[in-house]
Structure 1
Amino acid sequence: MTTAPLRVAVVGLGYWGPNLVRNLRELPEAEVALVCDRRPEALAALARRYPGVPTTTRLERVLADDSVAAVAIATPVSTHYSLAAAALAAGKHVFVEKPLAASSAGAADLVEQADRRELILMPGHTFLYSPPVNAIKTLIDAGELGEIYFISTSRVNLGLHQSDVSVAWDLGPHDFSILRYWLAETPEYVSALSRCCVFPQMPDVAFVDLEFPSGTIAHSELSWLAPSKLRRTTIVGSQKMIVYDDTSNEPVRIFDSGVMLSNPSTFGEYQLSYRTGDIVSPRVEVAEPLLLELRDFCAAIRSGRAPRSSAELGLEVVRMIEAVDASLERNGARVKVAEALTPVAA
């Protein structure tokens, strides 16, 4: 017996919304039931590309349609909480682009609402579905790298500047969600420095340090003001090291390199042994992460299990970004993540 496709409504046709529509149309388990945007011209452009897809400028029509099982939200961050809350109240499963909400209070409230109504709430942390990211996750979980000493990430480009959120809220969710996924823990402390180079009071470059309970430390460079696009992460372990470059044809390179410290047999000096071994570039599956992400969303709805990009993970990422903001307000002070919470839902 075949199962009817899940009817999904897409809300928001800015930069990311059309990508949601395109990928949902490629999934046999999903159907684009309705597309909503306040701008008639955006809906007209979509209709020219996908004739026959129903459109509306009224969110009320989406929420009142009992045939719509889920809503995918791709709107400005400031609207995530109100739109997701309205969809959950209408009994819809919700996929919402990162970050989950503009405050930890709002994100926590959405998580509670979804749990109470037994609905799937999924933040769009697309990199958790990237084949290179998952290849690295497999290596870390298998202990191939040994103890993870530190991770350094650079996510920079010339643009795109946002006028409503800082670079930490725009780019930070990518690296913070990846770190949380790889290490299976949330940082205990965060410290950050930033500068507003273009827009007053809107940081467009940030340097973030994160300290994890296991002892792993991480440094994240985020910028809209760089001469070229860079998406590079270095992971240094006690046994091996990895360079992950999202812009390379060989996105994952494993270095069998390290340093050994030998105890002296007498009262002499400690002996250091440097190891420089092979460099391996494993074959990595080629697949569009967004397609895999939306497939997981549909599977989670059908099975009732949490998706890989869970609501709880999304809440933790928002708390990490708030800790960055708290550190910036204190001139780069070291901030405890659990104590840097915004009390007002947004």
Structure 2
Amino acid sequence: MIGFAVIGYGYWGPNLVRNLWSNPEVDLRWVCDARPDRLSGVPGRFPTVRTTVALADVLGDPKVDAVAIATPVSTHFPLAMAALRAGKHVFVEKPIAASSDEAARLVEEARRRNLILAVDHTFIHTGAVRKMHALVNEVLGDVYYYDSVRVNLGLFQKDVSVIWDLAVHDLSIMDYVLPEQPVAVAATGMSHVPGQPANIAYLTLFFDSPLIAHIHVNWLAPVKVRRTLVGGSRKMIVYDDLEPSEKIKVYDKGITLNDDASSDGDRVRQMLVGYRAGDMMAPHIDLTEALDLELREFIECVVNMATPTADGEAGLRVVRILEAATQSLGQRGQVVELSSGMVPA
């Protein structure tokens, strides 16, 4: 049985506690939050779980093997680093840290201490995204584009822009689904609330191959949209997270390119574009709660010392893109090259 503690009991912490409490492989020992009022309801729902406002109580408990961190982004690094130095495995909410330097230091610390570090990229554990990952590898052919829209009339935040709040989801999905990593990013956006970060942004990501990705995020939209299109040479996918059942649709649509045989030798050869329109298929999707699957995978990785799907390296890759996009946003869309190197072994 894995001894667990949850640090942070605000928005996401209760979901972590609920899932860990119901897991028979977990001994949920602590819930920690700096605000005592947030902890007041814990004993009534989870009577064997102790509560504390002191991080030292959690990290000083030798029966705590792992901690889950669900606190503001600015606190991820100091809390995760303290837990790793105390010998605890760490599961931390997205994004893994507020900078790539902090993320890289966490990855290195976990590696040096032989501890499991995972980041809560929840969406990659949904049945829909796992199915999309399989389809990209199996039926799409050459991937041409990844186009995502994530907009709603959302909660304006003072400490992070819409890129760090919403685009992080699409970047984590893209990191998991696409067969290669981007090499550069350009971002444009705007803030409509004086003194606050951008509430609307457009990211374009470039790759070494003829693949392009585009992400649109917005806190100031009249409707809620969660839709992704992935186009390939053989098939195309539409992923709509708001669909109640058919979240993934696979279209046998596209183009075919053929030489123009009528061209004579003195003319530039041209390609004739043909269109293919076949059937649409909506595959069966596993509807198991993603957070439950994600935490079960993390526990299995702790037991077997295996690598999580969203490990520290995945978190680092996403933060590098977030940083570069933020830099590009400040330069009115100038393309920023991405660092490709991982943390040295």
TM-score of the superposed pair, with normalisation by structure 2 = 0.94
Cα 1:25–1:55 shift into 2, 3 Å: same
* Residue identity matched to 1:15: Y
Please say if residues 66 and 88 of structure 2, whose CA atoms lie closer than 8 Å, have aligned partners that are also in contact. yes
User: Which range is displaced more, 315-324 or 51-60?
Assistant: 51-60
Q: What is the aligned counterpart of 1:222 among 210, 213, 217?
A: 217
Q: What is the aligned counterpart of 1:197 among 192, 198, 204?
A: 192
Cα 1:270–1:87 shift into 2, 3 Å: closer
2:146 counterpart residue number: 151
* 1:21-100 alignment, distance < 5 Å: 21-100=17-96
Whole-angstrom distance in 1 between the partners of 2:217 and 2:36: 35
Q: What is the aligned counterpart of 1:233 among 201, 222, 228?
A: 228
Matched, 1:302 2:294: no
* 1:181-196 alignment, distance < 5 Å: 181-196=176-191
CA shift, 1:283, in A, is 0.8
Matched, 1:179 2:180: no
Whole-angstrom distance in 2 between the partners of 1:126 and 1:118: 24
Cα 1:177–1:281 shift into 2, 3 Å: same
CA shift, 1:160, in A, is 1.9
Identity of aligned residues (%): 48
1:344 counterpart residue number: none
Q: Which runs of 5+ in 2 are unaligned?
A: 265-269
1:324 counterpart residue number: 325
Matched, 1:141 2:141: no
CA shift, 1:183, in A, is 1.4
* 1:242-261 alignment, distance < 5 Å: 242-248=237-243, 249-261=245-257
Whole-angstrom distance in 2 between the partners of 1:308 and 1:177: 11
Whole-angstrom distance in 1 between the partners of 2:231 and 2:323: 27
Matched, 1:292 2:293: yes
Please say if residues 29 and 48 of structure 2, whose CA atoms lie closer than 8 Å, have aligned partners that are also in contact. no
CA shift, 1:199, in A, is 4.8
* Residue identity matched to 1:274: Y
Q: What is the aligned counterpart of 1:160 among 155, 158, 164?
A: 155
1:276 counterpart residue number: 277
Whole-angstrom distance in 2 between the partners of 1:316 and 1:184: 14
User: Which range is displaced more, 325-334 or 268-277?
Assistant: 268-277
Whole-angstrom distance in 2 between the partners of 1:310 and 1:240: 30
CA shift, 1:294, in A, is 0.4
CA shift, 1:258, in A, is 0.7
SS in 2 for 1:123: strand
Q: What is the aligned counterpart of 1:267 among 253, 263, 267?
A: 263
Runs of 4 or more above 6 Å deviation: none
Whole-angstrom distance in 2 between the partners of 1:295 and 1:283: 22
CA shift, 1:321, in A, is 0.2
Matched, 1:101 2:97: yes
* Residue identity matched to 2:147: S
Q: Deviations over 1:288-330 (max 9, x none)?
A: 0000000011011011111001110100000000010110121
CA shift, 1:173, in A, is 1.5
Whole-angstrom distance in 2 between the partners of 1:214 and 1:264: 25
Aligned residues: 336
User: Which range is displaced more, 51-60 or 85-94?
Assistant: 51-60
Q: Which runs of 5+ in 1 are unaligned?
A: 341-346
Whole-angstrom distance in 2 between the partners of 1:28 and 1:213: 46
User: Which range is displaced more, 44-53 or 25-34?
Assistant: 44-53
CA shift, 1:25, in A, is 1.4
RMSD: 1.6
Please say if residues 34 and 55 of structure 1, whose CA atoms lie closer than 8 Å, have aligned partners that are also in contact. yes
CA shift, 1:184, in A, is 3.7
Cα 1:35–1:199 shift into 2, 3 Å: farther
1:343 counterpart residue number: none
Cα 1:28–1:214 shift into 2, 3 Å: farther
Q: What is the aligned counterpart of 1:130 among 126, 133, 136?
A: 126
Whole-angstrom distance in 1 between the partners of 2:333 and 2:340: 16
Whole-angstrom distance in 2 between the partners of 1:141 and 1:123: 24
